[in-house]
Copies of this chain bind each other. A is one copy, B any other.
Amino acid sequence: MSTALYATGLDQGPANFTAQTPIQFIERAALAYPRKTAVIHGDLKRTWADTFTRCKRLASSLSQLGIQRAETVAVMLPNTPPMVEAHFGIAMAGAVLCALNTRQDPRALAYMLAHSEAKVLIVDQEFAGPIQAALDMLTQDKQPLPKLVEVDDPLYQGPRIQLGGLDYEALLASADPEFEIVRPQNEWDPICLNYTSGTTGNPKGVVYSHRGAYTNGVSNALEWGMQRHPVYLWVLPMFHCNGWCFPWTVAAMAGVNVCLRRVEAQPIFDAIRTHRVTHYCGAPIVQNLLINAPDHLKAGIEHRVQTMVGGAAPPAAMIEGMEKMGFEILHAYGLTEVYGPVLIGVQQDEWAALPLQERAELNSRQGICKQLEQQVAVLDPETMQPVPMDGETIGEIMIRGNVVMRGYLKNPEATAQALKGGWFHSGDLAVVYPDGYMKIKDRSKDIIISGGENISSIEVEDALYRHPAVLAAAVVAKPDAQWGETPCAFVELKPGAAATEEDIIRHCRTLLAGFKSPRAVVFGELPKTSTGKIQKFELRKRLES
C-alpha cells in the first residue's frame, strides 16, 4: 500500500492548481496597492488601479480588433507607459507580445513582422519612418499587413508621420474597462516572442512562456532582495528580453516604473534625483556614460542606487566610478534564450575589505546561477561532463531550468540543436573557479587562434579597458599569413583623451603575453547593437574589406 499512499485521491483541479502567469502580479498590485504610483512619464503619474484598468482596456481593444489566443501582437515602442501596458494588456488578451528592437532596419523589421505573423502592430511616432518602410516591403512581397495602432506620446519631440492607423489613446478610451481577462489555459502558453539580433543569418524568434516570465519576474525580486515599492528606472530597453522581465518584477513588488524615452546622462540623473530611483539595469556603455558625465549632473543624489550591469565584465574603473557615485553595481550575464541574466556576480561580504583591483578581478567573473533557475554548469560539449573547478579548464556554459526558452519559433532544428542533451547551449566558453563562480573566456566564435595558441579576445579587451584613455574596446582575429590569425584591437577613446597605437600596444604588453597583445589598433567609434553590445561581426567585415 505504501507506494500508492500519496498516489490517489489527491489530484490537480481548479481549486488547487492554476496557471502561473505574471498577469497575477498586476492584479495583486491593483488589489493591494490601488493608489500607489505604477508609472511616471514626465509629468504624468498613474496609479496601479489606473494602469491595470488601462491594461484591461488594451486587452479589450485587441480582442475587438479580432486578436485570438496565441496570435502575435508586435510593438515598436520606446520605454514609455504603453510599453509597460503592452507587457500585461497583450497577455491579458491571450496574445503574444513581440517587442521589436527599435533600432532594427526596415528589412529586419519586415522579416520579423512576417515571420511572427503579427496581426496588430503598435508603433510610437518616433519609429513611423522605419515601420512605414518595413510595411512597404511587406506590401511588395505580397505579405499580409498587421493592423496598425499609433502612439502619439506628448514627450516625443520629433517630426510626426501619419501611418493611417488607429490612435492608441482613442482605442483605449472606447474599450471595456471591465474586460474579462483571457487567462492562459496552461502556464506553458506563449507570452512573448523576442528576436535575437541575428549576427549570422536571419534573426531567430525566442518564445517565452507564462511560467518562465512569472518565474523570472519573481527571481529578479529575490535576487536583489527588493523591498516593497521599489522605484525602477527604465534605462534598459523593454524590447531587450522584455527588459530582463523587470516589467513583471516591478508589478510583483507594486513598485514604480519610471519611463525614459532616451538614454542620456541628464534625464537619467534627473530621474534618479527627483523620483529617488532605487534600481535600474544597463549595459556597460550606459554605466560608462553615467560615470563620465559632468559632476554637476550628479549633484544632489544622496540615496543608495542599485544597478545591474549586463554584458562585458565591469573593469576596475567602472566599479570605482560607480562606488564614487554611491551606486551598488551587480554584474550579470545572460542571453535572450534565458530571459536575460542567468549568472549573477553575487558579492561576498569579505570582498568589501579587499583592494579595488582584487575586487574588480572577483567582480569580473560572470558569477553563479541566479535564484529560481535550476542549474548553470560549464560542461565539456563532447562528453557533457562538468569541467574541473580549477579556474583553468574551459568548457561551454550550459543552462537548464524554468527560465529557459520554449524554443525558436518555426525553427525546430535550431531548437533541437540549442536544447540538445537536456541543456541550453550558450555558445559561451568559460571556466569555473573552486568557489563555483564562472568566468567567460570567450564566445566559441570569438576565440583567436594565433600560431596554434588560443587567445581569449576578452582577456585582451580586459587589458585594453585598463588603459585610462579607453572608453570601449573590442578585439577580433585578423587573418595573418604567418600566424594564421593575430589579435586586432578596435578602440574608442574617451572624449578629450588621446593615445597612439604604440601607447596602447605597449600598455597591453605590460599586462599580457606578447603573442596575446594586439598587433594593430584601429581608433574610432565602435558599432554597437541597440542594447550596447559591440558588433564584432561588423569589425570582422572591416578587416575583410
* Chain A interface (Cβ < 8 Å from any Cβ of B): 1-3, 5-18, 20, 24, 28, 31-33, 35-36, 68-72, 96, 117, 119, 188-190, 207, 212, 218, 221-222, 225-229, 252-253, 344, 346, 348-350, 368-369, 371-372, 374, 399-402, 404-407, 409-412, 415, 419, 422-424, 436
Q: Residues of B contacting A8 with CB < 8 Å?
A: 412
Nearest chain-B residue to A119 (Cβ)?
B2
B409 touches A6 (CB 8 A): yes
Give the CA-CA distance A10 to B1 in the complex, in Å. 38
* Complex-state Cα separation, A228 to B223, whole angstroms: 8
Could you say which of B3, B14, B372 contacts A422, with CB atoms under 8 Å apart?
Answer: B14
Q: Say yes or no: A407 contacts B2, CB within 8 Å.
A: no
Taking A10-B190, A10-B409, A13-B419 as contacts, is the C-beta distance between A117 and B1 under 8 angstroms? Answer: yes
Asked whether, in the complex, the Cβ of B5 is within 8 Å of the Cβ of A70, the reply is: yes
Chain B positions within 8 Å of A227 at CB level: 225-227
Tell me, in angstroms, the Cα distance from A229 to B224 when the chains sit together: 11
Given contacts A10-B406, A31-B368, A372-B24, contact A400 B16 (CB under 8 A): yes
Kindly provide the distance from the CB of A509 to the nearest chain B CB, expressed in whole angstroms: 38
Chain B residue with the shortest CB-CB distance to A410 = B9
B70 touches A407 (CB 8 A): no
The CA-CA distance from A368 to B422 in the complex, in Å, is: 41
Give which listed residue, B3, B188, B222, contacts A218 with CB less than 8 A. B222
Task: Give the docked Cα–Cα distance between A123 and B378 (Å).
Answer: 42
Partner of A71, one of B2, B12, B72: B2
Neighbour of A404 across the interface among B15, B409, B415, CB < 8 A: B15
A170, chain B: closest CB distance, angstroms: 27
Q: Assess A419 versus B10: contact at CB under 8 Å? Given A24-B372, A72-B5, A222-B252.
A: no
Within the complex, the shortest CB–CB distance from A31 to chain B, in Å, comes to 6
- Residues of B near A188 (CB, < 8 A) are 12, 17
Closest chain B residue to A191 by CB distance?
B6
29 pairs, A vs B, C-beta closer than 8 Å: A2-B68, A2-B71, A2-B119, A3-B69, A5-B71, A6-B406, A10-B190, A10-B207, A10-B415, A11-B407, A12-B188, A14-B423, A16-B212, A16-B401, A16-B402, A16-B404, A16-B405, A16-B419, A16-B424, A18-B401, A24-B372, A31-B369, A32-B344, A32-B368, A35-B348, A36-B349, A222-B253, A225-B253, A227-B227
Q: Are A18 and B407 in contact (CB under 8 A)?
A: no
